[in-house]
Amino acid sequence: MELDLRDNKLSEDGCRAVLPTLLDENARLERLSLSANPIRDVGACLLAELLEDGSRAVHLKHLDLARASITDAGCCRLAKSLETNTTLQTLGLAHNAMSNVTYVAFGKALKDHNRTLVSINLQCDRKKIDISGCEALLKMVEENYTMETVSTNLGTSYELKGIKFGYSSRIRMFLRLNHLGRQKLLDQKGTKEDWINTMISVQDSIQAIHYLLTTNPSLCQRD
């Protein structure tokens, strides 16, 4: 079941009134869009509680909260809920009032706990994101082999005091390797042929080839 409530002027009070019913186990709602509604942190926190509840929102797989007037407080509460939620697959938070704090929170939750969410949109004002936020996302995709899409607007590099850091390109590299079956390789279920075929698939990326060779030095050894 899918419900699109975007741009319906749904407020915090509206969330309190309708969300518990919409996300009841018997409702079987799989996709919900609340984008462009001013649900604010109150609505985000209520959603987080429902996502954590083992008897509520158990069918919800896709949630879009873009442009919902949510700040770091609400975003971080949603990140916390992902530590226990095992059903949500995609989460959209684009163009909310988030900052570096949100990036760090989601980086931690998706690195240490959650392997169900495969796509997240965290596009925001890039001026509010510093190196620690970029590092948190990079570390997350480096260690999370199931993540498929991480949307940001950091550009091709992040610059601080004249120094450029290629976070976006490295994040894309790990996501690309995930698509190619990185989990199988690193779980030691991949053959040498699998490793070589993966290298061939990423032969246009020196970064990816270097990562694979560093991870499995035996690829450089003769049979």
Q: How many helices (H) and strands (E) does the chain have?
A: 9, 8
Residues ≥6 apart with Cβ < 8 Å to 61 = 30, 31, 87, 88, 89, 90
Q: Is residue 188 part of a domain?
A: no
Question: Which residues are within 8 A (CB) of 213 and not within 5 positions of it... i.e. 6 or more apart?
Answer: 199, 219, 220
Per-residue pLDDT at 222 = 67
65 domain-assigned? yes
Q: How many residues does the chain have?
A: 223
Q: Cβ neighbours of residue 148 under 8 Å, at least 6 residues apart?
A: 118, 119, 175, 178, 179
Q: Flag whether pLDDT at 223 surpasses 70.
A: no
> What burial letters (b/e) apply to 66-77, b meaning 16+ CB within 10 Å?
bbbbbbbbbbbb
Assigned domain for 203 exists: no
Residue 95 lies in a domain: yes
Considering the domain boundaries, does residue 179 fall inside one? no
Is 71 inside any structural domain? yes
Which domain covers residue 86, as residue numbers? 2-157
| Confidence band of 165 (pLDDT split at 50, 70, 90) | low
pLDDT tier at 48 (50, 70, 90 boundaries)? very high
> CA-to-CA distance for 103 and 177, rounded, in angstroms?
22
Domain count, the chain: 1
Question: Residues 210-214: what's their mean pLDDT?
Answer: 94
How large a percentage of the chain has pLDDT more than 90?
Answer: 75
| 21-35, 80-94, 105-119, range with the lowest pLDDT | 21-35
In a domain, 22, yes or no: yes
Cα distance between residue 142 and residue 16, in whole Å? 38
CATH number at residue 126: 3.80.10.10
Kind and range of the H or E element at 63? Answer: strand 62-64
pLDDT score at 131: 84
